[in-house]
Structures are given as C-alpha cells and as structure tokens.
Amino acid sequence: MQIKVSAPARINAEIQLPASKSISNRALIINALAKGAHTPDNLSDCDDTKVMIKALTSLDETIDIMAAGTAMRFLTAYLSVTEGTKVITGTQRMQQRPIEVLVNALRTLGADIEYASNEGYPPLRISGKPLEGGAVSLKGNVSSQYISALLMIAPVLKNGLKLTLTGDIISIPYINLTLQLMKDFGAKAQWTADDCIEVLPQPYTSVPFTVESDWSGASYWYQMAALVAEAKVELLGLFPNSYQGDSKVAQLFIALGVETTFTSRGALLTKTGTCCERMDYDFINEPDLAQTFVVTCAIKGIPFRFSGLQSLKIKETDRMAALIAELGKLGYVLREEENSVLSWDGERQPISANPAIKTYEDHRMAMAFAPACLGFPSVTICDPQVVSKSYPYYWDDLTKAGFSIEKED
C-alpha cells in the first residue's frame, strides 16, 4: 500500500504525542528485574513496546520480537539473567543485524548464549541463570543499546558491573537516560571516569513510574513547523529537563526558524522568520534525529554536513543509503563520506517521474519524508503502516493538522 500526502497552507494544531518508546522499553525491563507489583503508567502503544510487553509475559519458548531492535538487545541481556531457556528471533532484517558485540560481553560475564543459525546474528538460544558479573570492556562507538542492555542487568549481578568503554563514545544521552531510570528504581550506578561506569550489586526496588512523551516523535512536528509558511503547534506532554537526549531538537531547530516555549501542558512551537544559510552538526549523540534534519535542510535548500552517523548503518535499514536514494528521487544529490557523514552542497538533479518514497521497513523514513510534501505538491509514501513501530497514529495526527492523506493502489 502507499499513500499520497498533501500539505495545508498553514498549521495550527494541538498534538498529543505518543509516550516515549525509549523510556517505556527501559522501564519495562527494569521493572521486570525489580519483580515489581507496579506497572509503569502511560506506556507507549507502539509496536516495539507491545513486543516487549508480550515477551516479558509470554510462557512460549520462542520469542519473536519482529523488527524491534531495542527489544532484541535489551531482552538478550534480560533473558541471560532470567531462569529458563528461550529462543529469541525476529524479522529477516533483524536476523541480519549484528549482535556479536553484546553476546561476547554477556559471555564474559558468564552468560549461556548460542547462535541458533548464523554466527554473530539472531536468532539466539539463551539459557538464563544467575551471573557473577564483574568487569567488561566494550568499544564506545557500538550501539548504545548494547551498553544500556548490560547496564540494566548490572544491579542483579552478584558482583555488579564495571563497564569500560574504549575509543570514541557515541549516543551518551541514551546511556545517561538508562542510568537515570535505573536510579529511579533504586540502583546505584554512575560514571566513575570519562570512560568507565560502575554499578553496585544492589537489586532494584519496584516504584510507581509514569512515562513522558516522545521527543523523537516531536521532531517531525518541528520539521513541519520549519517547512510550512505559518505554524503554531502545541505538543502535549513535553517538558524541559527531559531525560531524553532527543530533546536537543528544540535547541537545534532554532537555527531552522522554529522557537519553543514551554507551557504547563507541553511545548509550543512557533516560527521566528529567521533561518541559517548552512547547517553543520555532529549527530553522534542524537542519531535518531538525523533523518529529520537531512530531509528538512534539503527541502529548505540549506546545504549541510552531518557527521556522527555511523550507527545509522545498522538501524532498521541502512539509513544513510536510504536517505541518499530517496532524496535522490526528489532531485537532491547527497554524498556519503567515511561511513559516518552525509552532506549536501546544494546540487540538484532531475526529479524522478512519479517518485514514490520507499520506507525500507523503517518508521523514521516514513515520518521524516511525509513533511517533504510542504516543498512539493504532494509526496507518495510506500508502506506507511511502518509508523506503528513508534508512532501508531502519526497519519491521524497529520490529518488533524490539515494534511490530506489519500490511499493509492
């Protein structure tokens, strides 16, 4: 299925954003390790969180997490310290996403994990048991989800965990998000050096917990506000001093002409009328915002150079290749450098005839490209249902804001 998205002349909307997937999935794992009587409130209703809830409550021997990368990483660690033998698998793409770094680290801590098919990739057969814990080292430029997975099980390890990160450390805000949530549930965990995190062997305490709204989902509304002629958008459930690293989007969009004012209910987005002539930024700490800014800058005609994108290669798809291909259909010639940089110097090429944006089973491709219709008469999005991974009612919210959504065969 595909849809044609057409834009309104102005946007004046009040949007109830989905709950944070990142916080929901971490809170669910930590709460399960706490063997808590409480269930976190305001959990995300996206696919990834539904998969996580099902996995944590299912008695089945095989756990299919579909395309949920977060669930694969977090559950691999969780199942390693949980009695019983389980096989964890996922979609064909998930079975192509490497997990050897995490498996090796867990094996160092004593975990019993076997590859059920291809060495280094899911599916995994995990026999859970109490683990001793101790010291382990990881490269700091691997997915922060590997690091978070290890950290979250650390309080239940007999000797806790001393985690040393070597080289450049990416996505530090996601690591800090995990540490903060762990502390909310009673863990004693902290950075003891720039490259070292120590977690004491002190079990979690079950506490009431409410999940805040999703700043990653908010980024697409900032994008729309930047691209439309007139905008006033209130995003409910967003607040300053958020745990989420992607709250950086509010500061970054100032350069693209969008100002944020916080109210008692959330964040109010308005246009300032001023915009930068070029944008250069290192997304090493906010990789999930990259697609939003790449598409926004291209549509606004703002040359850019965005670095720190190496983790995009192993997401739901190779997001760097996907951005180059799909923006190419709209006439923008992007360049990739060193597997970690995307740039655009303003070069254009003829637009493809009847371009249809492929989404590659990637929710963020669909959500980042839909606002591109503000620079074209319309944009066709293939497989729009992929947004259910993190923002199930994204298209409904666009309709409420005045966008036209037409189904096409």
Separation of alpha carbons 276 and 260, rounded Å? 17
What pLDDT sits at residue 209?
93
Considering the domain 2-18+213-408 in this protein, what is its CATH number? Answer: 3.65.10.10
What lies within 8 Å, CB to CB, of 237 at 6+ separation is 16, 17, 19, 212, 213, 265, 266
Domains 2-18+213-408 and 21-199 share a fold: yes
Domain 21-199: state its class: alpha beta
> Minimal CA–CA distance to 390: which of 100, 37, 52?
52
- 221 neighbors 234 (Cβ within 8 angstroms): no
What pLDDT sits at residue 342?
96
Known catalytic residue: 195? no
| pLDDT one-digit tens code per residue, 127-139 | 999 999 999 999 9
- 308 neighbors 283 (Cβ within 8 angstroms): yes
What pLDDT sits at residue 323?
97
Domain boundaries, given as residue ranges, for the chain: 2-18+213-408, 21-199
What pLDDT sits at residue 311?
84
What is the DSSP secondary-structure string of 131-192? ---EEEEEETTS-HHHHHHHHHHGGGSTT-EEEEEES----HHHHHHHHHHHHHTT--EEEE
Ranges of the chain whose pLDDT falls below 50: none
Ramachandran category for residue 42: left, alpha or beta (phi over 0 → left; psi -120 to 50 → alpha): left
Q: Six-digit token pair at 338?
A: 């060193």
CA dihedral 57, 181, 137, 149 (to 10 degrees): 20
Q: Which of 288, 345, 362, 396 is catalytic?
A: 288
